[in-house]
Amino acid sequence: MQCRAPCEDVKCGHHAYCKSDGQGAYCICEDGWTFNPDDVSAGCVDIDECETTSGVTRCGDNSVCINTQGGFNCQCKPGFTGNAFKGCVAPCEDVKCGPHAYCKPNGQEAYCICEDGWTFNPGDISAGCVDINECDVQSGMTGRCGPNTNCTNTLGGFFCQCKQGYTGDPYKECTSTCKTNLNCAENEICIRGQCSNPCGIIGACGLNAECRILNNNKFCSCPAGFTGNQDVECVRMPYSCESSSECDDRSICEDGMCIPECQSDTDCALNEKCLQNTCILNCQINSDCFLGRICVNNSCIFGCTSDDHCGASETCKNNRCIDPCVVSPCGPNAVCTVANQRAVCSCRVGFIPNPVAKVACTRTPAHPCIENRGCNPGYACVEEACRPVCSTDASCLGNEKCDTIIGVCKSICRRDDECNENEICDRLTCSTGCRNNSACANNKSCYNNKCVDFCSSPNACGINAMCIIVNHQKQCRCVSPLQGDPLVHCRPPVNKCSSKKDCPAGSTCYASSCHATCRTDYDCLSDEQCVGNVCKLICTSDSECNRGEICENKLCTSGCRVDSACPDNQACIDELCRNPCNGTSICGTCSDCKIINHKVNCICPVGFIGNALINCAKPVSRCDGSCPCDLESGFCITKCAANADCSCGEICKNGKCAAKCNANTACPLGHICKNGICSIGCRQDRDCPTDRSCVNGKCKDPCTRSDQLSCGKNAICRVSDHVASCMCPDGYQGNPGVECVRYGCVIDGDCEPSKKCSSDKVCRNPCLESSVCGINAECIVINRNVQCSCLAGYFGNPQIECKLGKDTCSNNPCGENTICRDTQDTYECACLPGCTGDPIKGCLCEALRTDYCKNTICGMNALCRIQSSGDPQCYCPPEFPIGDPNVHCEISNLPVDCRTNGCGKGATCAKEIGIYKCSCPAGTIGNPENECVLGK
């Protein structure tokens, strides 16, 4: 079982619906409907609300009820108005009209109407109506009575009566009977049996014509001041005038004609009307008007409809003949003339159309100028053009404005095309200028809205450069033979010379370079001045001058400030480049003076030794069988016959060359100075070589004196610093004063600390090997290795030679063909370019080199090199540094100096027992040559 809505099964009829109240369902009729009493199930029927049997009135008074389906409507009865549901009233019910007036409805509206013969009071309509005087021609209705009658007014009406002597219907016409004019009065005519005045008939005469009856005859005539056909129309005659004083009192002079004044049409003739307080003739066509006037809107006015109505110098515009130039059809500064009744615009002299004279005329393009005197009076040269001067705008033309800043007139504009060629519109005035390069000549460029010749500036290009403009672009060029940066400076090429013949025509040799010759400054470049017939460069600093010149008194003159300004073989002395070796005694006796890199280098010639700043002398050589020998001293001698046979610093004495000596020139070892000549002998040990001692004025080997020293068995005697001592030779050990015993070795450890085990298994002192250290050097053994060092007071390369004096280049410590450079603590020697060899002893240049090593045989792994003396020398190369180069060179396990090769990552380079070695810092392990890491 299902729950259902109560109305679901209820079917109600038409215009009814079902309603449930919770207990049941029932049908209800819609508003305006009721159940059909005959059949409720059939639905509902309309209720007639207009039915009055019930005594209920649905609508208001004076209304009609109209029933509708389901409702009704109320309407007011005809002649009534208002709300039909509440009540309708008559339209005139509330309307109160005044005396002699009544209310008349019109639909739902009502209004008051006057009774016949009455009219509303014009002063107060609500006051009612007033009587109409029908007999008053001005205010009443005409034609109420017939001709020849008298009219009498009454309240609300009137009545008519025939005049005396007349009969007939006074409301139509009263007439007198006649047959001829004689039967009529003098001012009448007998017309169709009736005496009547024809002048009273409308149209009896023409318009504005006067009608008169004379002797029973009608006469028409135009009144005074009028003309025309009196039977048709009379028109007012025109009178020409120049002023109103020539017209009558009622007329004024207008458009050259006397025209009557008026207030209304009644003040004018019948064929005229009052327009703008003047009487104007009516018309239909132009021919109805007098000459010079046309018909416009049915009125004759002064004017025209075409040029044909105007004179040759006038044109018809807006129906007026006017001078076409009066309306100013031309632009400012243009002249207007009339040709064929048309205005022709042309520019005044000195002006041109812009763009046509009808628009404006502007001054002809300003005459180009450079200064004011190039312009006519009243003009000034501004922006390279002659312009009219002014102080205010009043001084300029109408289309110009005074630029009070520069005091000239400029044309007013809004756009560039309103200005002349080569002008632009700038701040509403035309000024000389441009917008882009195309507006300028090819030799100018547009810059800041001005056509500018960039070459006109003296600084447009560099000094002496030529400036040209190509396609509006500046180009700077150095004209041949000038060269350089044309934006900075163009200069003649620097041609070195030693004399005038080295220079081209028109030039001379000055300060080692060619300079142009001159007579005046005009013969020189812009940055030069003619001094002493030579063009000299104007300057402010030395840097502006050529090499070999300095800036003195603002001119580049021959000279120098520093050595670098001179050739390498000269130095700057007293502001001049000179050879310091010329005319000076900088170097010592027998030394060569050479200039290297501007510096004086005093060098002892090849085969000489000594301090080149003091004296260079030929060294003494011990006899070796290859030279004449002095048996007493054991030194080589040079035989001679004259001084010319001797070297520098020597003289020929007793057939032998002897060295000169003085306080500054010492004698070689083994010699003493006697009477300015070095003679063989000695006064003390230091006069002798270090391996000799002075004995009885002679240098002798102290080891040969058995009274001085006796060595043990197998011991040898050696001299050091003039003192003899006994020592065991290599391969022996023991007390040299007693006996030296031979022994062998396998490793260096088998030898004393000062010796090392040689290849022949003998302990040898490395310092006793030949040529281990250089001259004036001492040898010590450290860790069985040789270490050479200069003696106290000596400086130089201990491997080759140590020299007495301060360790600087001023002592000329380097050999021949070398360059010496001072460093912070010492000096450095280097061979000249193209030369090789030992720079301390001397370098051999390529041109002098001879392959002396070609026939020299060196030991295994050894190489051959040429010494400064030119002799071949065998040496052990770095890869085989140990051994005798004449026998065998081998690799040694000597540690490498870490200052040269560096150490591995994390390692340090420190000195250990005289050698710099790599080591791992404390707390780290590894190979110091590769890397040190933290220990575990």
Residue 765 CA to residue 913 CA, distance in Å, equals 19
Residue 275 CA to residue 265 CA, distance in Å, equals 8
- State what percent of residues in the chain have pLDDT above 70: 89
- The string over 142-158, giving b where at least 16 C-beta atoms fall within 10 Å of a residue's C-beta and e elsewhere, is eebbbbbbebebeeeeb
pLDDT at 223 over 60: yes
Query: What count of Cα atoms within 13 Å lies in the side-chain half-sphere of residue 1?
Result: 0
Residues 261, 281 contacting (CB under 8 angstroms) = no
Q: What pLDDT, on the 0 to 100 scale, is given for residue 562?
A: 81
Compute the average pLDDT of residues 181-196: 77
3-state DSSP of 205-261: CCECCEEEEECCEEEEECCCCEEEECCCEEEECCCECCCHHHCCCCEEEECCEEEEE
Residue 188 CA to residue 194 CA, distance in Å, equals 9
Compute the average pLDDT of residues 294-308: 81
Q: What pLDDT, on the 0 to 100 scale, is given for residue 164?
A: 63
Q: What pLDDT, on the 0 to 100 scale, is given for residue 894?
A: 47
Residue 213 CA to residue 385 CA, distance in Å, equals 91
Q: How far, in Å, are 113, 406, 707, 734, 772 from residue 727 at the CA level?
A: 181, 113, 18, 9, 19
Of residues 385, 354, 387, 391, the one with CA closest to residue 370 = 385
Residue 676 CA to residue 667 CA, distance in Å, equals 10
Residue 310 CA to residue 323 CA, distance in Å, equals 10
Which helix (H) or strand (E) segment holds residue 114: the answer is strand 109-114
Compute the average pLDDT of residues 673-681: 82
pLDDT at 397 over 50: yes
Which helix (H) or strand (E) segment holds residue 899: the answer is helix 898-901
Compute the average pLDDT of residues 80-85: 79
Query: What count of Cα atoms within 13 Å lies in the side-chain half-sphere of residue 55?
Result: 0
Which helix (H) or strand (E) segment holds residue 163: the answer is none
Q: What pLDDT, on the 0 to 100 scale, is given for residue 123?
A: 66
Residues 296, 289 contacting (CB under 8 angstroms) = no
Output the average pLDDT for the chain: 80
> How many residues appear in the chain?
936
Residue 245 CA to residue 228 CA, distance in Å, equals 27
Compute the average pLDDT of residues 566-584: 80
What stretches of 824-894 show up as alpha helix (H) in DSSP? none
pLDDT at 141 over 60: no
Residue 453 CA to residue 444 CA, distance in Å, equals 5
Q: pLDDT tens digit string along 760-776?
A: 777 788 887 766 787 77
pLDDT at 590 over 80: yes
Q: What pLDDT, on the 0 to 100 scale, is given for residue 354?
A: 79
Residues 328, 336 contacting (CB under 8 angstroms) = yes
Q: What pLDDT, on the 0 to 100 scale, is given for residue 323?
A: 86
Compute the average pLDDT of residues 787-810: 71
Q: What pLDDT, on the 0 to 100 scale, is given for residue 822?
A: 67
pLDDT at 229 over 80: yes
Residues 597, 822 contacting (CB under 8 angstroms) = no
Cα–chain-centroid distance for residue 274? 76
SS3 517: strand
The phi, psi pair for 933, rounded to 5°, reads: -125, 165
pLDDT at 819 over 80: no
DSSP secondary structure letter of residue 13: -
Token representation of residue 535: 């063009």
> What one-character-per-residue DSSP string does 756-773 give?
EE-TTS-EE-GGGSTT-S
Q: pLDDT tens digit string along 710-723?
A: 788 888 888 777 78
Q: pLDDT tens digit string along 489-513?
A: 888 888 888 888 889 888 888 878 8
The phi, psi pair for 496, rounded to 5°, reads: -70, 150
Out of 186-190, 478-482, 768-772, the most confident range is: 478-482
pLDDT at 707 over 70: no
pLDDT at 142 over 60: no
Compute the average pLDDT of residues 256-277: 87
Compute the average pLDDT of residues 409-420: 85
Q: pLDDT tens digit string along 718-759?
A: 877 778 888 887 767 788 888 888 777 878 887 877 788 877
Q: pLDDT tens digit string along 331-348?
A: 888 888 888 888 889 888
pTM above 0.85, yes or no: no
Residue 462 CA to residue 636 CA, distance in Å, equals 73
Residues 904, 932 contacting (CB under 8 angstroms) = yes
Residue 314 CA to residue 331 CA, distance in Å, equals 20
